[in-house]
Chains A and B, each alone.
Chain A
C-alpha cells in the first residue's frame, strides 16, 4: 500500500511546483531555534513536504494527511492531524494568494515587499500575525508569530526545475 502511495506522490510531484526551503523554528520555552531543511511541493489538491535529512515527510492530498518516517506510514491522532492540516492549508492559502479568502480570514496590511496578516477567527487565539515577503511576485518568506512568543520562519528558495 505504502509503495502505491509513494508512486502516486512521485507522479504528482513530477508535475508540481517544487521548492527547497529552510524552516527556522524559534521556541521560547527552549530559548533556541531549530533549523529544518526540506523540499516543498505545491500540488493541485494539496502539498507535500519532505525533510530529507531526517527522512520524514508530510503529504496532504484532497484534505487527507499522511505522515511517513522513511518508508513507514505513521498514524497520527485525529486532533494532531487536524492541527497539521489547518497549518498546511494556511501555507497553501498564503502561497496561492487567494485575496478574497485571505481577506475573509485576515486583516491585511501591505507595505512594499511585506504583507502583514492579522487573523480574525479562531486563529487569533494562537497566532499574533503572519508576515509574507514577496519578491518579483514570488513568495520568499513566511513568518508566523505565535501568541506564546514562538515564531516560525520559512525561507523559500528558487523553484526546483
Chain B
C-alpha cells in the first residue's frame, strides 16, 4: 500500500498513453479570447490574404539602394512560402491584357461634343508643346484629344516605378501563404527570410507572423526560467524547511497524478482544450498543497480519522467556486475552472484517502511561532477592507485591449508602427460580401461611391451596370465625325498627313461587359474567396464606421473586436463573480458559523488589498481579475482552517508553508515578461503578502 501513490500515477500515465492520439491540445490562443463569430470573421479575412503580407524596405533612394532592392526581391522570389513579390508598379501580363481590353470602360470619358475650334485649339497646344518644350512631349495617335483618362488606381507610394516606404527607402511587398496562427510554417518562413535579410543590413522587415515566431521564443525562454525558479522555491520548502524528502516525492507524484487526471478528463470533455488553460490549470493544482500541509502539520495521517472537516469544507467551497466559473461563456476561464475542479478533487482524494497509507513520517513540532501581541479585531480588518474596496472603485481603470496580455515585443511593435506611419495610409481593412461575383463587384462600387478613397477590386473592375451605361454612351457618341475633324485640323496645324487616321477607331469594337478573372488582382493583395453561398473580398477604407452602415460590410478591426469582446467578458466575469461570492458567503457561513466575519476577512481583505494596489498603480486587466478569483479560492481554505483551528500554531505553520508553495506556483510569475503571466504573479504575490498580514495581525 505504501506504493499506491506511485501505482495510481503509473495507471493514469498508461491511460494517457492509450488515449494520446485522441487528445487535441490547441495552441490557438485567439480562440480563448475571441468570440466564435470573431474567429469566423478572421478566418475568412485570413483566406482573403489579410495579415499574410510581408513588407521589406531598403534604406535610401540612390542607385545602390535600387540595386539592393532588386537583388533582394530576386532572392525572396526563390523562398518557399512566398507567393509573390512586388517591388514596382509594373502590372503583370494578365493585368496589362485586362487593361488593354477594358481601357475604354475603366478610363474616365469626356463626352462633351467637340467643335472644329476646340479640336484645332487642342491640337495646336500639343503641336506647340512638341516643338517648343525642352522636354520630350508626344501625342497619342489613338486619342489625340485626351478624351479618355486612366488614372493610377494603386494606393501605393512610389518613385518612378519603384515602390517606396515614405522617405525611408524602396519597398518590397511580398505575399506569403503563412498566417499568424500557423506556428510551424511561420517559424520556417521566418528563418528562411531572415537568412536572406542578414545579407542586407540596411533592410527592415515586418509581417504579422513575425510576432508568432519571436513571441513564442520569448515565451519559451520565459517559462523555462520560471519553472526553474518555481522548482527551487519548492525544493527550499521541503528540503530545507520541512526536511522530509519522502513527503516531497509523494506530494510531487500526487500533484502530477491530479494534473494528469484533470488533463485526461478535460481533453475528453472539450474537443479543443487550450495549452494556455492547461498551463494555468496545472498551476491551480498547486493550491491543493494546502490540504496536505494542513493534514501533515495536524498529524492527520497518524490520527486514523476518516476525514478532516476543515479541509473538506475548504475543498468543497473552493470547488464550488470553480464549478460556477466552469459555466462562464469565456472559454479560457471555463476551461481552467473545469480543469481546477477535476485536479483539486483528485488531489483532495489522494491527500485524504491515499496518503494515510503511505507511511509518511510524523511531524514533530520544532518550529515555534511567535504570535504578535498587538493584534487587531476582525471587524477592524473588515472595515479596512471596505475602505480599500472604495479606493479601488474610485481609481479603477480597466484595460480593454486583450492584445496587451501578450508578450510585449516592443522592438517589433516599433517596426510595425514605423511601416504603418511611413506608408501614410489610414486605410483599414473590411470584408465585403455578396451572393454572386457580380453582386460583390457591385457592392464594392457602392462602397467606393460612398468612400472615394477606398481601395478594392472596384478600383480596377467595372460593375456590370456602369459598364453597360458606358457602352451605350460610347455607342451614341459620333466618333466618325470627330475622326474626320481631327484629321482635317491636324493637317492645318502641321501634323503629318494621315497620322490620326485611326483616332478613336478603338471605340468601334466594344468588348462585352463581363466580370473578369479576379485572380489577376491578387498581386495587389485583393483576393476573392467563396464558400457555398457567399463571395467575400477585402476592401481598404478610410472610415470604417461609415462603411459599416452597409449591411454587406463586416468590420475586421482586431482591436475593436477584442475591445467589444472584452467588454462582454468583463460583464460576464462580473456576473459570475457575484454568483461565486454569494456561494462562498453561504458555504463559509455554514462551515464557520459564528466566526463568519473572521473567516470572510481571508476572502475580502486579500482581494481588496490587491485591487487597491492594482487600481492605484496599474491598469486592471482580465488576468488580474481572474487571479483574484484564484486568491479567493485560496483565502476560503485559510479562513476555514483559521476559524476552526484547535491548534492555532500548527494551522499558522501549515498556512505559511502553503503560502510559500503558492508563491512558488504562481508568485514567481511576477518575474515573467509576458503580461498575462506577470499579472497573475502580481496578484498572487500581493495576495500572499496580505494573507501573511492577516495571520500575523488579526485576532
A122 an interface residue at 8 Å Cβ cutoff? yes
Q: Is the CB of B70 within 8 A of A101?
A: yes
B305 an interface residue at 8 Å Cβ cutoff? no
Return the contact of B66 from the options A101, A122, A123 (Cβ within 8 A).
A101
Return the contact of A123 from the options B134, B138, B161 (Cβ within 8 A).
B161
Q: In the assembled complex, which residues on chain A have CB atoms less than 8 Å from the CB atom of B88? A: 121-122
Q: How far does the Cβ of B482 sit from chain A's closest Cβ, in whole Å?
A: 18
Q: In the assembled complex, which residues on chain B have CB atoms less than 8 Å from the CB atom of A31? A: 496, 499
Q: Is the CB of B138 within 8 A of A30?
A: no
Return the contact of A152 from the options B63, B130, B136 (Cβ within 8 A).
B136
A54 an interface residue at 8 Å Cβ cutoff? yes
Q: Is the CB of B134 within 8 A of A29?
A: no
B71 an interface residue at 8 Å Cβ cutoff? yes
Return the contact of B139 from the options A29, A36, A104 (Cβ within 8 A).
A29
B131 an interface residue at 8 Å Cβ cutoff? yes
Q: In the assembled complex, which residues on chain A have CB atoms less than 8 Å from the CB atom of B138? A: 27, 29, 146, 148, 150
A121 to B67, CA, bound (A): 14
Q: Is the CB of B67 within 8 A of A98?
A: yes
A104 to B161, CA, bound (A): 13
Q: How far does the Cβ of A21 sit from chain B's closest Cβ, in whole Å?
A: 12
Q: Determine which residue in A31, A63, A101 has the highest number of CB atoms from chain B within 10 A of its CB, and name it.
A: A101
A70 to B70, CA, bound (A): 40
A80 to B62, CA, bound (A): 21
Which of chain B's residues 36-77 have a Cβ closer than 8 Å to chain A?
61-63, 66-67, 70-71
A63 to B70, CA, bound (A): 19
Q: Is the CB of B71 within 8 A of A30?
A: no
Q: Is the CB of B130 within 8 A of A121?
A: no
A47 an interface residue at 8 Å Cβ cutoff? no
Q: Is the CB of B131 within 8 A of A54?
A: no
Q: Is the CB of B160 within 8 A of A86?
A: yes
Q: Is the CB of A36 within 8 A of B135?
A: no
Interface size, chain A (Cβ < 8 Å)? 37
Q: How far does the Cβ of A112 sit from chain B's closest Cβ, in whole Å?
A: 26
Nearest B residue (CB) for A144: B136
Return the contact of A121 from the options B63, B90, B140, B159 (Cβ within 8 A).
B90
B141 an interface residue at 8 Å Cβ cutoff? yes
Q: Is the CB of A25 within 8 A of B67?
A: no
Nearest A residue (CB) for B140: A148
Q: In the assembled complex, which residues on chain B have CB atoms less than 8 Å from the CB atom of A43? A: none
Return the contact of A36 from the options B62, B63, B130, B134 (Cβ within 8 A).
B134
Return the contact of B71 from the options A54, A96, A100 (Cβ within 8 A).
A100
Return the contact of A30 from the options B89, B134, B160, B495 (Cβ within 8 A).
B495
Q: Is the CB of B67 within 8 A of A29?
A: no
A8 to B94, CA, bound (A): 47
A29 to B160, CA, bound (A): 26
Q: In the assembled complex, which residues on chain A have CB atoms less than 8 Å from the CB atom of B61? A: 63
Return the contact of A148 from the options B62, B131, B135, B141 (Cβ within 8 A).
B141
Q: Determine which residue in B136, B496, B499 has the highest number of CB atoms from chain A within 10 A of its CB, and name it.
A: B136
A104 to B77, CA, bound (A): 14
B201 an interface residue at 8 Å Cβ cutoff? no
> A121-B88, A122-B88, A123-B161 known; A84 and B135 CB under 8 Å?
yes
> A54-B134, A58-B134 known; A122 and B161 CB under 8 Å?
yes
Q: In the assembled complex, which residues on chain A have CB atoms less than 8 Å from the CB atom of B139? A: 29
Q: Is the CB of A96 within 8 A of B130?
A: no
Return the contact of B159 from the options A45, A58, A63, A93 (Cβ within 8 A).
A63
Q: Is the CB of B160 within 8 A of A25?
A: no
Which of chain B's residues 123-148 have a Cβ closer than 8 Å to chain A?
127, 130-131, 134-136, 138-141
> A93-B63, A148-B141 known; A29 and B161 CB under 8 Å?
no
7 pairs of A and B residues whose beta carbons are closest in the complex: A104-B70, A31-B496, A122-B161, A100-B67, A121-B90, A101-B67, A56-B134
7 contacts between A and B (CB under 8 A): A29-B495, A30-B494, A80-B135, A84-B135, A93-B63, A104-B66, A104-B70
Q: A27-B130, A104-B67 are in contact. List 12 more A-B contacts (CB 8 A).
A: A29-B130, A29-B495, A36-B134, A58-B134, A80-B135, A86-B160, A87-B136, A98-B67, A101-B67, A121-B88, A122-B88, A122-B89
Interface of A with B (CB < 8 Å)? 25, 27-31, 34, 36, 45, 49, 51, 54, 56, 58, 63, 80, 82, 84-87, 89, 92-93, 96, 98, 100-101, 104, 121-123, 125, 146, 148, 150, 152
